[in-house]
């Protein structure tokens, strides 16, 4: 087995069979997503989708980046509304067109997962990882939602792919591309701001004598991140006369997940997480908020949340645990009503689909856990990066509040780990069978083997 210091990123040399398999998987990914969004998606927006749609139309109408003139001018991150505005401007203001474009983005994410898997673990890992993501039910589901998840997933994944390349190539150019991609991802979901820092730790961690070669690429990545978000930060400063790096929604979401009145019964039984964490201010709180500016409201929400934490630390820790479990639950937010558009109200068919979706998520989590444990024990370095990403997302959403869709951007990394876990199990099974039959053991290429590991 290779140590972390011996890892190499393989160049992609596709055989004819591999090329055919990849083309078929990509074609199937596109077919699945287009069929779902065009044939089964409802013609209405979710609440957040309506907000994004309104902001996009306001941008095109010249009234600015806001839900209404002068109202919540920085509450939402900017990139997804501008993404919608670009689609509306060039392809027409149609929910179907948005979904079709997002289906294409989903396919590009599948291709990026293949490239990442191929480079860190070889052909088998790449093909298994893309196959898992192609059929991931929630990766398919959210391509039809007018929400930021599909765009954010792709931008973040491309940034992570660049980081994997940086581990071997030490290129400041790749560092710049990674920083710009992470910056665009942060302008879609602000939690991406710290992922370059996590990536820098992974790149600079002293597991090799070549750490000094990463200094220039890491600095280039961090500077490119700053360059990417600075124009929007300057815009926010000119409006609010305060430094707001990206958005003002952080205080509201933090208070939504850390306040009195969150019901344990609802946490355990209710399917609609939006309703569990919906903030309904009291009359006194409404009076306080009505006198505050947008950035002052964010500060006030943070103050209320920290007051709650100081007064009820035990309750805060209990909610943290419950939110952590909720984030990784394969069955929460999966009521039968989710599948009405597929089954036309047939409850028996909806139950079958629901059980299949839950079973697929359980299998994904188990295989990913196996892959993660086997990879860490075998010192395959790329597994450590996957672990850091999973821990970071989990901690952020357990501190704020979780939703199923917030887990979707982790689907590519779970697919890579699950593919690694499946290959590890197959290698173990084959070695056991060989030992039982007293046959000479054939040296198996490990999931991070001849293709190279990062």
Domain presence at residue 451: no
Domain presence at residue 453: no
Domain presence at residue 319: yes
Domain presence at residue 454: no
**Rounded CA gap, 89 and 210, in Å?**
48
Domain presence at residue 450: no
Query: Which residue segment(s) compose the domain that 325 sits in?
Result: 7-277+293-431
Domain presence at residue 307: yes
Q: Which residues of 245-269 are buried (b: 16+ CB within 10 A; e: fewer)?
A: bbbbbbbbbbbbbbbeebeeeebee
Summarised one tens digit per residue, pLDDT across range 323-344 is 999 899 998 777 767 777 777 7
Spell out the residues 6+ positions from residue 417 whose beta carbon is closer than 8 angstroms to its own: 367, 368, 369, 371, 372, 375, 383, 386
Per-residue pLDDT of the chain (454 residues; tens, 9 = 90+): 343 333 444 456 778 888 999 999 999 999 999 998 888 766 677 888 899 999 999 999 988 898 877 677 899 999 999 999 999 999 998 899 999 999 999 999 999 999 999 999 999 999 999 999 999 999 999 999 999 999 999 999 999 999 999 988 889 999 999 999 999 999 999 999 999 999 999 998 765 556 777 889 999 999 999 999 999 999 999 999 999 999 999 999 999 899 888 876 666 665 556 666 667 777 888 888 889 999 999 999 999 999 999 999 999 999 999 999 989 999 877 776 777 777 777 888 888 888 999 999 999 999 999 999 999 998 888 999 999 999 999 999 999 988 889 999 999 999 999 999 999 999 988 888 877 776 555 554 555 554 555 5
> Which residues, in sequence order, are bridge partners of residue 71?
68
Domain presence at residue 241: yes
**Rounded CA gap, 245 and 235, in Å?**
10
The count of domains in the chain is 1
**Rounded CA gap, 115 and 11, in Å?**
10
Summarised one tens digit per residue, pLDDT across range 119-154 is 999 999 999 999 999 999 999 999 999 999 999 999
State residue 363 phi and psi, 5-degree precision: -60, -40
Domain presence at residue 225: yes
**Rounded CA gap, 37 and 22, in Å?**
23
């Amino acid at each position: 087995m290779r140590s972390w210091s011996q890892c190499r990123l393989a160049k992609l040399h596709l055989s004819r069979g591999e090329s055919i398999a990849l083309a078929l998987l990509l074609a199937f990914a596109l077919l699945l997503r287009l069929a779902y969004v065009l044939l089964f998606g409802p013609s209405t927006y979710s609440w957040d989708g309506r907000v994004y749609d309104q902001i996009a139309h306001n941008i095109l109408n010249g009234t600015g980046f806001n839900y209404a003139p002068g109202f919540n001018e920085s509450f939402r991150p900017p990139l997804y509304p501008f993404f919608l505005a670009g689609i509306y401007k060039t392809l027409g203001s149609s929910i179907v067109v948005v979904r079709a474009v997002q289906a294409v983005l989903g396919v590009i994410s599948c291709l990026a997962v293949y490239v990442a898997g191929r480079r860190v673990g070889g052909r088998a890992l790449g093909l298994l990882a893309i196959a898992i993501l192609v059929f991931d039910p929630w990766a398919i589901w959210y391509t039809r939602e007018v929400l930021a998840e599909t765009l954010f997933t792709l931008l973040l994944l491309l940034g992570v792919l660049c980081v994997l390349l940086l581990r071997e190539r030490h290129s400041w150019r790749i560092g710049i591309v990674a920083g710009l991609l992470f910056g665009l991802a942060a302008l879609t979901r602000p939690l991406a701001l710290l992922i370059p820092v996590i990536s820098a730790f992974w790149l600079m961690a002293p597991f090799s004598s070549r750490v000094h070669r990463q200094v220039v690429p890491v600095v280039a990545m961090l500077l490119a991140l700053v360059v990417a978000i600075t124009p929007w930060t300057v815009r926010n400063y000119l409006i609010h006369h305060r430094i707001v790096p990206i958005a003002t929604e952080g205080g509201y979401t933090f208070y939504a997940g850390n306040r009195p009145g969150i019901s344990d019964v609802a946490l355990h039984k209710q399917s609609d997480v939006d309703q569990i964490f919906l903030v309904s201010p009291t009359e006194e709180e409404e009076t306080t908020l009505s006198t505050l500016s947008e950035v002052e409201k964010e500060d006030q929400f943070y103050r209320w949340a920290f007051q709650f934490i100081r007064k009820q630390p035990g309750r805060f820790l209990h909610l943290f645990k419950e939110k952590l479990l909720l984030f990784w639950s394969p069955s929460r937010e999966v009521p039968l009503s989710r599948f009405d558009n597929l089954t036309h109200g047939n409850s028996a068919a909806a139950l079958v689909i629901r059980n299949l979706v839950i079973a697929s998520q359980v299998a994904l989590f188990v295989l990913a856990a196996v892959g993660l444990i086997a990879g860490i024990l075998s010192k395959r370095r790329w597994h450590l990066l996957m672990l850091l990403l999973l821990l970071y997302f989990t901690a952020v959403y357990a501190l704020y509040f979780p939703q199923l869709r917030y887990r979707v951007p982790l689907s590519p990394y779970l697919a890579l780990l699950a593919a690694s876990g499946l290959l590890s199990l197959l290698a173990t099974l084959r070695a056991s069978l060989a030992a039982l039959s007293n046959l000479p053991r054939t040296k198996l290429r490990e999931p991070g083997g001849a293709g190279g590991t990062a």
